[in-house]
Amino acid sequence: MNRILILVIVTYVGLGVMLYLMQRSFIYFPTGAVEHRFDEVTFENDGATTTSILLNKGQDKAIIYFGGNAENVAFTAPEFERELAPYSVYLVNYRGYGGSEGSPSEAALLSDALAMYDSLVSTHESVFVIGRSLGSGVASYIASERPLKKLVLVTPFDSIQSIAQKQFPFYPMSILLKDKFNSIERAGNIYSDTLILVAEDDKVVRRIHTDKLIQSLVNRAPEVVFIGGAGHNDISQYSRYYQSISAFLHSH
């Protein structure tokens, strides 16, 4: 009996240590640089240079897009260029992604995002923010720190801690997790007009996590669009995706 108990304890501790040491490899899946025809701009922050793809250069209004944790924004660039032509669109390569320097972490991504937003506010009439999946955690942070007019959150979550806790119920993720992306905690400081796009068949971010975030946006009720038949990874392939974003950004 004692041997079994010891084995259980050793296994539990061992898996916990592995979870702690490898956690960022479960959150971030950096994609390398690929050749493309679009302009690129660089941003310097805290000793690291990150690159962003710039579409529709020279427009008065701008959009910053923060993508998913395994997204290569170069592949979605043609759609953004076509569907959001009235806006200069900055598709962000996080640290370690798409030729950007450094390694991804929540602190680094949030710091880079805020510095980039502050830089673009000085060169554009207005700057809107779109965040998809992991990027929704970055976008909601900007909205909680700055008077952002319009915010779009695609397949967003309440927090990565909440998702991880459901996946690993036997471990205290509040203690183990370094990068919590706690959007629900920041929601009380968000006053933006907000559009939330929900994939009906999302198997990655379960509805309960999105619903909790929606309910926490108490200062201004968000507009919520459910895209029928869509999954977490293919939501942008549905016509309502860009139609909803365009209509929302055009509205006063």
Write out pLDDT tens, residues 168-179.
899 999 999 999
Domain ranges of the chain: 2-250
Q: E strands within the chain?
A: 39-45, 48-55, 61-66, 88-92, 126-132, 150-154, 193-199, 223-227
H or E element that contains 242: helix 239-250
Distance of CA 216 to the CA centre of its chain: 18
- CATH 3.40.50.720 is the classification of domain 2-250: no
Find the mean pLDDT for residues 120-137. Answer: 97
Question: Residues 32-45: pLDDT tens digits?
Answer: 999 999 999 999 99
Q: Are residues 30 and 97 in contact, defined by beta-carbon separation less than 8 angstroms?
A: yes
Give dist(CA 103, CA 30) in Å, integer.
9
What is the per-residue pLDDT for 2?
85
Q: Which pLDDT band holds residue 233 (cuts at 50, 70, 90)? A: very high
